[in-house]
């Protein structure tokens, strides 16, 4: 994926996330339509909105950082080991900052 395409996709994602975050902050009840998938859990709407806001905010940061890496000319390289992030991974997740191995290590540490 070339950086022009990556930048466009990241900008789209950013706009989408900003919209979601705006909704989540402004109207927690509207969250129901976003979270139909996990209906049945006993979280309140406010808890669910908060959880989704946390996820959306973290993803927004990842997208912003990916755009910064494009600007710095280091996009597509793993921020931990410096090896190229596989094309397929970037296609699926243009905001990915790490190769699969480094991401795996990071997630196991949590």
Where along the sequence are the contacts to Zn ion (CB under 5 A)?
A: 78, 80-81, 99, 102
DSSP 56-86: HHHHHHHHHHHHHHHHHT-TTB-TTT-PBPP
| Closer of 42 and 110 to Zn ion (Cβ) | 110
**Which element (helix H / strand E) includes 105?**
helix 100-109
| Closer of 22 and 104 to Zn ion (Cβ) | 104
| Closer of 16 and 80 to Zn ion (Cβ) | 80
């Amino acid at each position: 994926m070339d950086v022009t395409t990556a930048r466009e996709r990241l900008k789209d994602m950013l706009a989408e996330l900003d919209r979601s975050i705006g909704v989540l902050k402004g109207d927690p009840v509207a969250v129901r339509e976003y979270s139909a998938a996990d209906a049945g859990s006993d979280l309140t709407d406010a808890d669910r909105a908060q959880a989704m806001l946390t996820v959306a905010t973290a993803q927004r940061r990842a997208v912003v950082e990916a755009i910064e890496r494009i600007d710095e000319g280091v996009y597509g390289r793993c921020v931990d080991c410096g090896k190229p992030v596989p094309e397929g991974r970037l296609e699926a997740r243009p905001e990915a900052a790490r190769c699969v191995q480094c991401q795996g290590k990071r997630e196991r540490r949590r």
